[in-house]
Amino acid sequence: MAGLVTTFGAGAMTNSIGEIRDADFLFVIGSNTSEAHPIIAMEMKRAVRRGARLVVADPRAIWMTSIADRHLRLRPGTDVWLLNAMAHVIVAEGLVDQAFLAANTENFEAVGETVARYTPEEAEEVTGVPAEDIRATAREYATTRKAGIYYTLGITEHTHGTDNVYALSNLVLMTGHLGLASAGMNPLRGQNNVQGANDSGASPVFLPGYQRIDDDAARARFEAAWGVELRPEPGLNLNEMMKEAGKSLKGFYVMGEDIVLSEPNVAKLEVGLNQVEFLVLQDLFLNETARFADVILPGGCFAEKDGVFTNSERRVQMVRKAVEPPGQARADLEILQDLARACGAGWPEQDAAAVYAEMAALAPKFAGIRHERIEREGGIQWPCETLDHPGTPFLHEGGVLRGRGRFEPVEYRPSVELADSEYPLVLSTGRTLYHYNAATQTRREPGLAAKQPEAFLELHRRDARDRGIADGDLVEVRTRRGAVRCRAAISKQVRPGCIWMPFHFAEARANLLTVDDGDSVTGTAEYKVCAAELLLLEGAAGGGPFPGAWWV
């Protein structure tokens, strides 16, 4: 979001899911789409079947690479080299969309100068991707009109995540692939309502509707409506908060996150949490973080409350209460309202529809959206500024929202922790089809739990042989921060020298291993790269072929 706000003026997917099927060129980078976004992957499949070209840039072989025209199997963390080299080819071969550049962008010269130094031949040395593949991909992308970019955490979960987004934005701007159907720059959102959470101001910088807290005029509008004074300074981001646990932050209110499972370098975080004086957990279940809680407020799940979720394509959709929350559990909104009243804030009686209407009155992007309208018409995509506006399927039509799209030159910076003689392997982490993040929900579902009952570590046959490890053996994975035990899955998915594990499993927490160094702009941790070593545990019995990836 930070990268896209800077370059285009709006931090969201530029285009819609339904447009994917009509695209002629799909560039999927750092997204395991078929496992993490299966519905979107289905649209991609549909496009490929129609004849669209698909290029996947990913260190791992994933299901998407099995239907791709080309797999750019880059070394982890080298995306800036790959993307700058593609820009190099586009400039060198005169494929820049000059008309779009003149009418809609600024600062191209700076990028032109930078990418001149990023030759495909040198890129091949750094990334491992053949120079000819880089050239061919750049040409195809630049010369196809309906060409879209789709990316997720392989791009953002790095210390240079925002740089990666800038490098991608530069490609979009120099080819003019913006403001058109089936094109654009599409970050596929992770959680069902992460877009809605950002939209409504769950951020240390933004009030609802991406209005900055340090913008005096915006703040004054909210102060008048709420009858309170607001502090102008942005708060701490998530990564900063975790580092301040038990230091400047003595109290924690954790709602809908299992922090000791999903935050990086959790052994260090746990030391801080032990110093925290008061921790409230509002969750559906006693998750791992519950061990640190003083008070637990049982929240109702999605099926136990009314409200809206905003999906990846900015579409605000209704969620309706189907069943009553069990026991003492209550909808999150009711819990928060009661808490505010107990604190003397004097909040009025408001249902979810009234809360949304209040936000719409203060945030122009959503001014035309109401629960009643969605009930009548179905989901609406913002921006939607008036009650008779139909909503916006793709952004930047007829002009970039920022005014002019901004080119941001970026230089390659390596990941913070590289493999060395002591820790010679590169560990990356992520998710699988069968479990959802902290897995508090999916591991309670017997069908899913049976499909994937336990943690595993994927490794290349060569690295297994070097260490005397057989498929299914019990291994210990070690980094400078901690160690976990799980079974080894010998896999064709990972490159030699690289290992991979899911972060879903509480008994083998991948985040005991990861680094907590964050992106320089957003603080997002480098979950995708750290240095590791593997050890075969004595006496571990090989259990025959071990089912790691579901499709191999």
Ligand X SMILES: Nc1nc2c(c(=O)[nH]1)N[C@H]1C(S)=C(S)[C@@H](COP(=O)(O)OP(=O)(O)OC[C@H]3O[C@@H](n4cnc5c(=O)[nH]c(N)nc54)[C@H](O)[C@@H]3O)O[C@H]1N2
Site residues, Mo ion (CB under 5 A): 190
CB of residue 194 vs ligand X: minimum separation in angstroms?
A: 7
CB of residue 36 vs Mo ion: minimum separation in angstroms?
A: 9
Given the complex with ligand X, which of 111 and 530 has the nearer CB atom? 530
Q: CA–CA separation, 237 vs 520, rounded Å?
A: 12
Q: Which residue has the tokens 């932050």?
A: 249
CB of residue 48 vs ligand X: minimum separation in angstroms?
A: 17
Given the complex with ligand X, which of 307 and 368 has the nearer CB atom? 307
Which of ligand X, Mo ion, none lies near 298, with the C-beta cut-off 5 to 8 A by kind?
none
- The residue whose Cβ lies closest to Mo ion is 190
- CA 65 to chain CA centroid, Å, is 20
Given the complex with Mo ion, which of 25 and 436 has the nearer CB atom? 436
Given the complex with ligand X, which of 190 and 497 has the nearer CB atom? 190
Given the complex with ligand X, which of 47 and 96 has the nearer CB atom? 47
199 HSE (CA, 13 A, CB side):
28
Which of ligand X, Mo ion, none lies near 192, with the C-beta cut-off 5 to 8 A by kind?
none
CB of residue 528 vs Mo ion: minimum separation in angstroms?
A: 13
* Residues β-bridged to residue 151: 29, 187
| Residue 433: CB atoms within 10 Å | 17
Given the complex with ligand X, which of 76 and 523 has the nearer CB atom? 76
Which of Mo ion, ligand X, none lies near 299, with the C-beta cut-off 5 to 8 A by kind?
ligand X
Q: CA–CA separation, 177 vs 148, rounded Å?
A: 7
Which of ligand X, Mo ion, none lies near 256, with the C-beta cut-off 5 to 8 A by kind?
ligand X
Assess contact for 544 and 174: CB atoms under 8 A: no
CB of residue 13 vs ligand X: minimum separation in angstroms?
A: 13
CB of residue 179 vs ligand X: minimum separation in angstroms?
A: 25
CB of residue 331 vs ligand X: minimum separation in angstroms?
A: 8
Mode of pairing for the β-strands spanning 483-490 and 456-459 = parallel
CB of residue 503 vs ligand X: minimum separation in angstroms?
A: 4
CB of residue 191 vs Mo ion: minimum separation in angstroms?
A: 6
DSSP state letter for 52 = -
Alpha-carbon distances, residue 208 vs 222, 347, 370, 382 (angstroms): 9, 18, 15, 13
Assess contact for 489 and 549: CB atoms under 8 A: yes
Given the complex with ligand X, which of 290 and 470 has the nearer CB atom? 290
Q: Which residue has the tokens 């951020």?
A: 203
> Among candidates 311, 305, 307, 319, which has minimal Cα distance to 391?
311
Given the complex with Mo ion, which of 252 and 436 has the nearer CB atom? 436
Q: CA–CA separation, 195 vs 52, rounded Å?
A: 28
Which of Mo ion, ligand X, none lies near 213, with the C-beta cut-off 5 to 8 A by kind?
none
Q: Letter for the amino acid at 461?
A: R
Helix, coil or strand: residue 35: helix
Which of ligand X, Mo ion, none lies near 473, with the C-beta cut-off 5 to 8 A by kind?
none
Given the complex with Mo ion, which of 169 and 524 has the nearer CB atom? 524
Which of Mo ion, ligand X, none lies near 371, with the C-beta cut-off 5 to 8 A by kind?
none
> Residue 233: is it exposed, middle or buried by C-beta count within 10 angstroms (0-12/13-18/19+)?
exposed
Which of ligand X, Mo ion, none lies near 60, with the C-beta cut-off 5 to 8 A by kind?
ligand X
CB of residue 189 vs Mo ion: minimum separation in angstroms?
A: 8
DSSP state letter for 495 = P
303 phi/psi in degrees, rounded to 5: -85, 0
Instruction: List the structure tokens of 444.
Output: 């309670």
Given the complex with ligand X, which of 236 and 433 has the nearer CB atom? 433
Given the complex with Mo ion, which of 9 and 190 has the nearer CB atom? 190
CB of residue 513 vs Mo ion: minimum separation in angstroms?
A: 19
Q: Which parts of 389-540 are beta strand (E)?
A: 405-406, 425-430, 456-459, 474-478, 483-490, 498-502, 530-536
Rg (alpha carbons) of the chain, rounded to whole number: 24
The vertex-303 CA angle with 299 and 306, nearest 5°, equals 85
Instruction: List the structure tokens of 76.
Output: 């982890």
Helix axes 161-175, 79-92, angle to 10 degrees: 20
Which of Mo ion, ligand X, none lies near 262, with the C-beta cut-off 5 to 8 A by kind?
ligand X
Q: Which residue has the tokens 């070593």?
A: 533
Instruction: Give the residues lining the site for ligand X (CB under 6 A).
Output: 29-32, 35-36, 57-60, 62, 74, 76-77, 79, 152-154, 157, 190-191, 255-258, 261-262, 282-285, 287, 299, 301-302, 332, 428-431, 433, 435-438, 440, 503, 510-511, 514, 527-528
> Among candidates 326, 305, 324, 313, which has minimal Cα distance to 371?
305
